[in-house]
Chain A
Amino acid sequence: MDESIDELWRYIPLKQLSKPQAVTTQAVQADFIRALKDFFSGSSDTEPEETDMMKDLQTVPAELLDAIVPCPDFAEPAAALHSAIKEWVEMEKPDFRIKCIVGRPYSWTDKIITAWARENEWRIVEEPDSAEIFSGGSEWLAGLSKTGTARIVIPRLEKFYLRHAEGLTLIRKLMELLWSEKRSCLIGCDSWAWAYLCKVFKVGSIFSYALTLDAFDDNRCKRWFLSLSTASGKRRLTFRRADNHRLVLPKPDTLNSNGTGALDFSLQKEKEVPESNLISNIAAAGLGIPGVVRSMWRHSLQLLPETANSDTDLNRTLWVKPWAKVMFPKVPTPIDRNTLFVLHACLLHGGLREQQLNQILPLTENEISQRLINLKHEHLIELEDDFWRVTAVSYPWVRRCLNNEGYLID
């Protein structure tokens, strides 16, 4: 059996990262429909027809969604990370003492690295606050130096700078310090911050051996969605397309386990072969980023009202919208420059407080508040722990929009 089947989470050299491709005409059709809608700001009559049953379908309650598509347990990806860097960790005098893990937004790089650090008892470096960043961070760096030779982990390098004329000193000094010290350091960095830092001090050429999480292709997505839905071990969920009732994921009870608990599609005994196009489209549209494809998958699921559904709670059918029918948050066109500034700043820093946005953007507080309200209304950003972030489900479209407008992207 191909070894890659077993590795749901896998870390690869950054340069080897390739995004999954959509394999069907559905994706092209859906993109075309969306492009037409964007262009004419109206509706198009080329969408697939809605069946009677599709009209009855309802949104899945949040609690049930959390149970069907929960946030993953980070122990498994942390173990994958460990196997990728094991050799480096065990070296007494590694050639390069600093190892970088570059993670695209919503690939949970910080959480995975933190889980790994706790497991391996490496010291986690706390992030400086805005005031320390603006002051150049001399005191903060002195505190870090005092920690001696303990091996350290920086889970979110993107939180060590602000895109401000006085917000880059600390990260420069931090890098100089880490280079001069003789202890090992594992750094996690958001891919957008990485792209920016490549312009600030050529971080890409210094750490050319950075690793990243491999993209989730359709095969990985299927295995992952199925393993998430069966995580509790009690549910027997069936996922079918709402328009033609074809299976989208194989039924869990028709699959054999390969002994490690992982689901193996090559051992599938089922006669009803699930269609693969829809998941391929989700993988491609979500750029193979686990958090984004998970969010899109959640966005695609629907349920018949309880009264019409004879299945029990543990054995029910979930209906998956056809790809062209899934409505994702739309980036308004034409989009004004100030809105792009807000979106770009949020991505470059992996999320920002409103106060930080006021400090770094050439806009008034009122202008920023107004943009934040509008973007939240469009479901393009959300407030999470006081930080404004681009939503996972809208991330690919925001990224595409910024790319089209000529902004630096990851």
Chain B
Amino acid sequence: MEIGFEFLKTLKNFDQIAFFRIVVIIVIGWALIRLVERIFPIVDARLPGRFRLNLLPWAPVFRLLIILTVIVSIIPLVIKPTANNLLIFFGAIGIAVGFALKEFINSIIAGVLAVYERPYRPGDWVEIDGIYGEVRSMDLRTLKIVTPDDTQVLLPHKKIWDTPILNASSGKRDLQCMAHFYLDPEHDPSVVKLKLHDVALSSSYVNLNRPIVIVMEEHPWYSHYKIRAYPIDGRDQFQFITDLTMRGKNVLRSAGIKSAAPCSRES
């Protein structure tokens, strides 16, 4: 009760509060946020691919700055801006909101931290709680992920507190992809390695400025090869893997290298 009275004392008299100005500031802030949300994707679509991911991550930063500016502009219009009053004001707001909207505030604070720490950024390919997709946008409370089957998933930022965030691209445009080949163990590994390397080198999707690595694992009944390579654009990862797999199978077949028989694989 005591803090409630103290809080009320910090407020200006009702007739001293410039409600019209507050409404104007909120409307301007809202309009600016909408503008950022509209402009950034438009500009992004027009930029060359190489610069795409340089711009998108700034959208949440701009949004946060606008929100902070709006709050800082409104507070002096509502309370008498002394240090004591500000402490009481934020203390009271913190206690009230903390109890009533704990989860909501939790996500918002995590969202602010996500802008600073960047566990994910718009354009990144992430996996959170088993959901894999591209981060399309970051709102104050949630991030929007679009999965490869075009399903939109909204996840609260508070996941960053206790859930592993698997980020495949981390602000880069490309990400490592893997194509798997399970072969009958009777073959010359050096031939397979060269053939698979050529498959990756000759893919139109591949980023030739990134390494191409062929990895082999020997199992009791089959040999497992992996092509590790990067597509030019992470958005092409599935077409890239398909291209590698299709052409790899064709090349190996024409070289007389057999796939492992299904019955011989490990269960």
Instruction: List A residues at the B interface (Cβ < 8 Å).
Output: 39, 163-169, 196, 199-200, 333-334, 337, 341, 344-345, 360-362, 401, 403-408
Contacts and interface: CB of A to CB of B under 8 A. Distances in A.
A163 to B, nearest CB: 5
A168 B202 contact: yes
Contact of A345 (B204, B236, B251): B204
16 contacts: A39-B46, A163-B201, A163-B204, A165-B247, A165-B251, A166-B254, A167-B202, A168-B198, A168-B202, A169-B198, A337-B233, A362-B204, A362-B243, A404-B48, A404-B50, A406-B233
B137 to A, nearest CB: 20
B208 interface: yes
Contacts of B248: 165
B46 A344 contact: no
Interface string B20-60: 00000000000000000000000001101111000000000
Contact of B49 (A166, A345, A406): A406
A224 B13 CA distance: 83
Chain B facing A: main interface SS: helix
A337 B201 contact: no
Given A166-B251, A337-B233, A362-B243, A406 B207 contact: yes
A332 B251 CA distance: 36
A345 B173 CA distance: 22
A405 B195 CA distance: 28
Contacts of B250: 165
B202 A165 contact: yes
A168 B195 CA distance: 10
A337 B236 contact: yes
For the complex of A and B, the 5 pairs showing the least CB-CB separation, nearest first, are A404-B48, A408-B208, A405-B49, A165-B199, A165-B251
A200 B233 CA distance: 21
B16 to A, nearest CB: 48
Nearest to B173: A406
Number of contact residues on B: which range applies?
Answer: 20 to 34
Given A196-B208, A361-B204, A362-B205, A404 B49 contact: yes
A338 B43 CA distance: 22
B202 A405 contact: no
A201 to B, nearest CB: 10
A62 to B, nearest CB: 34
B232 interface: yes
A401 B204 contact: no
A401 B46 CA distance: 12
A406 B250 CA distance: 28
Given A165-B195, A166-B254, A406-B232, A200 B201 contact: yes
Interface in B204-231: 204-205, 207-209
A200 B206 CA distance: 13
Contacts of B239: 362
Nearest to B48: A404
A153 to B, nearest CB: 27
A77 B25 CA distance: 70
A404 B51 contact: yes
A200 B203 CA distance: 12
A406 B201 contact: no
A196 to B, nearest CB: 7
B1 to A, nearest CB: 60
A169 B173 CA distance: 31
Nearest to A403: B50
Given A361-B204, A406-B173, A408-B208, A165 B48 contact: no
Nearest to A342: B204
A169 B254 CA distance: 14
Contacts of B204: 163, 341, 344-345, 360-362
B209 A408 contact: yes
Contacts of A337: 233, 236
